[in-house]
Amino acid sequence: MALYRTRAVVIGRRALGESDRLMEFYTRDFGKVRGVAKAARRPRSRFLAALEPLTLGVLVFFDTGRSELVRVDHFDILHPFVRVREHLERLGRGAWTVECLARLSADRDPNAALFGLLVRSLRALEAGICPARVAICFGVRAVDLLGHRPRIDRCVECGRAYPFQDAALDVEAGGLVCVPCGPRAHAIPLTGAAVGTLGRLRGFRWEEALRLPLSAPLDAELTLVLEGIVARLIGQVPRSMRFLSQTRRPLPPVLS
């Protein structure tokens, strides 16, 4: 039985049996790793609060080689990202980033760049950068790193070069499509400004992308576009999106 050690972020967990937890980590050296943390739900568990979602730590696990699930030996906290977990909008965006990785990456498919992107995004959320912007910048890069980069320079059906009127993004087809190539109920309509900004965000360094001045409508459109791309790649609306839409629900009017 082999023992491994790697940096990891907790991207999911659920109760297992009477006192265990089924854990999901995104690790720097092994990609997504799922495993069992024995007795983690007991009051005096040696894991204590270490297994909270979004926590960055050093994961030590045993791999018997006989199961997809590893045995979590311990998880030492490097950074708990408490300020992300204590703030609804940051938590919602953080939950979306980890759900992207949980749902779109395969087990044991290492991608150090994706791990670095996740940690940078959590740090940006904690630093107080606008959570929606962090999610846009994460989404643009994560989709690329996961191998789903959509083409935005031409219609993927007929090859006609962009710009053209009424472009829409067909995630299944792999990029922009033009109107003559047919109406598609599932395609995401995109303004010219959104197409241009997506291209710029891809080319920018991380810090530049986080600070690129954008109008509120464009920020909102890019959020919807990235959320739409991820939902289509997953095949359903992510759980974190339902949480986010609840936090966005308007407050009841104050009675005068």
Q: Is there binding between residue 158 and Zn ion (CB under 5 A)?
A: yes
The helix-helix angle for 88-104 and 131-145 (nearest 10°) equals 10
Q: Is there binding between residue 178 and Zn ion (CB under 5 A)?
A: yes
Q: Which is nearer to Zn ion, 137 or 181 (CB)?
A: 181
DSSP states along 166-194: T-EEETTTTEEE-GGG---TTPEE--HHH
Q: Where does this chain touch Zn ion (CB under 5 A) — which range of 21-29, 120-128, 172-180, 206-214?
A: 172-180
- Give me the amino acid identity at 6: T
- Burial readout 153-170 (b: 16 or more C-beta within 10 A, e: otherwise): ebbbbeeeebebeebbbb
Q: Is there binding between residue 187 and Zn ion (CB under 5 A)?
A: no
Q: Where does this chain touch Zn ion (CB under 5 A) — which range of 98-106, 117-125, 134-142, 174-182?
A: 174-182
Cβ at position 162, least distance to Zn ion in Å = 10
Rounded to an integer, what distance in angstroms lies between the CA atom of residue 225 and that of residue 242? 16
Cβ at position 156, least distance to Zn ion in Å = 8
Q: Where does this chain touch Zn ion (CB under 5 A) — which range of 25-33, 112-120, 152-160, 191-199?
A: 152-160
Q: Which is nearer to Zn ion, 49 or 158 (CB)?
A: 158
Cβ at position 183, least distance to Zn ion in Å = 12
Identify whether 163 is preceded by a cis peptide bond (ω within 30 of 0). yes
Rounded to an integer, what distance in angstroms lies between the CA atom of residue 219 and that of residue 33? 33
Number of residues this chain uses to bind Zn ion (CB under 5 A): 5
| In contact, 74 and 7? CB cutoff 8 Å | no
46-75 residues in contact with Zn ion (CB under 5 A) are: none
Q: Which is nearer to Zn ion, 48 or 158 (CB)?
A: 158
Q: Where does this chain touch Zn ion (CB under 5 A) — which range of 18-26, 49-57, 123-131, 147-155?
A: 147-155
Rounded to an integer, what distance in angstroms lies between the CA atom of residue 38 and that of residue 210? 40
Q: Which is nearer to Zn ion, 86 or 172 (CB)?
A: 172
Q: Is there binding between residue 179 and Zn ion (CB under 5 A)?
A: no
Q: Which tokens in the block code for residue 14? A: 């659920």
Q: Which is nearer to Zn ion, 108 or 160 (CB)?
A: 160
Cβ at position 150, least distance to Zn ion in Å = 14
**For residue 36, what is the DSSP state?**
E
The helix-helix angle for 216-234 and 88-104 (nearest 10°) equals 40
Q: Is there binding between residue 181 and Zn ion (CB under 5 A)?
A: yes
Q: Where does this chain touch Zn ion (CB under 5 A) — which range of 89-97, 144-152, 153-161, 188-196?
A: 153-161
Helix, strand, or coil here: 70? strand
Residues that bind Zn ion (CB under 5 A): 155, 157-158, 178, 181
